[in-house]
A = this chain, B = another copy of it.
Amino acid sequence: MKQKTKFNAAILIIGNEILSGRTQDTNTSTIAQWLNLIGVKVNEVRVIPDIESIIIETVNHLRKVNNYVFTTGGIGPTHDDITAESISKAFNLEYKIHKEAFKILETYYKVGEFNEGRQKMAWMPSEANLILNPTSGAPGFNVENVFCLPGVPSILKSMLGGLKNKIVGGDPILSHTISLKTVESEIAKALTNVQNNNKDVEIGSYPFFQAGKLGVSIVIRSEDQLKIEKCSSEILDFIKKKKLEVVAR
């Protein structure tokens, strides 16, 4: 099941609110889906607390073993927003006012409203490149292969478009889903055979229980449309033989 994907990434969710269960992370799924389209595969996700030493250690590990690291959270104006300072330390860079970010924020806020809290959002590692924020002014930034985005999902989403030119990816990672009215154990053996015949395609099997319906979604993933089609036709073959009902494909 090894893939030859050339570009990979880690997502690093920084925030006590996710670890406590108070907030449901949705940024992982947003970033991962966007990365699929530009041919970057997510290898790993980590959620860590707002603790400087842990952020530094984790960033320094992940940036060495992945082409890209995307962090979310901790770039706002309050005391628990320590991502920018931690990234500065991870890269041994000065943590200082980024002139362009300062200008953007100064222009964004009304005269007299660009207070100390808001000015904090212009503090970044000295070699940071800005990631523009069309929603709420305060930019994200990247240093080398580490891209720092906000935690608020709607703002994060609005900033991904502006990132495209900064990320080199491969062929889009394609997927095809076949949903069946069956249970996993019914198709387990046949699906294992298909996987063995198609070792470089990723085949996942996911039971679902929705609206009183019991079923299984088979998800085929590859960068190669022809490989997906071959795999898909082998799966449809055993579905036909077993007389299973396809509910969606």
Contact = CB atoms under 8 A, between A and B. Distances in A.
Contacts of A191: 78-79
Contacts of A49: 43-44
Counting contact residues on chain A (CB < 8 A from B), the size range is: 35 or more
A134 interface: no
Interface string A48-67: 11110000000000000000
State the copy count for this chain.
2
Contacts of A205: 76, 78-80
Contact of A154 (B28, B47, B209): B209
Interface string A197-228: 00000111111010000000001010000000
A16 B188 contact: no
Contacts of A44: 19, 46-49
A45 B47 contact: yes
Given A189-B116, A205-B80, A21 B33 contact: yes
Contact of A51 (B1, B31, B36): B1
B43 A204 contact: no
A170 to B, nearest CB: 15
A246 to B, nearest CB: 18
A233 interface: no
A204 B21 contact: no
B184 A117 contact: yes
Nearest to A193: B79
B188 A78 contact: yes
Contacts of A19: 32, 41-45
Contacts of A26: 24
A133 interface: no
Interface of A: 1, 13, 15-26, 28-36, 41-51, 76-80, 115-118, 120, 151-152, 154, 173, 175, 184-189, 191-192, 195, 202-207, 209, 219, 221
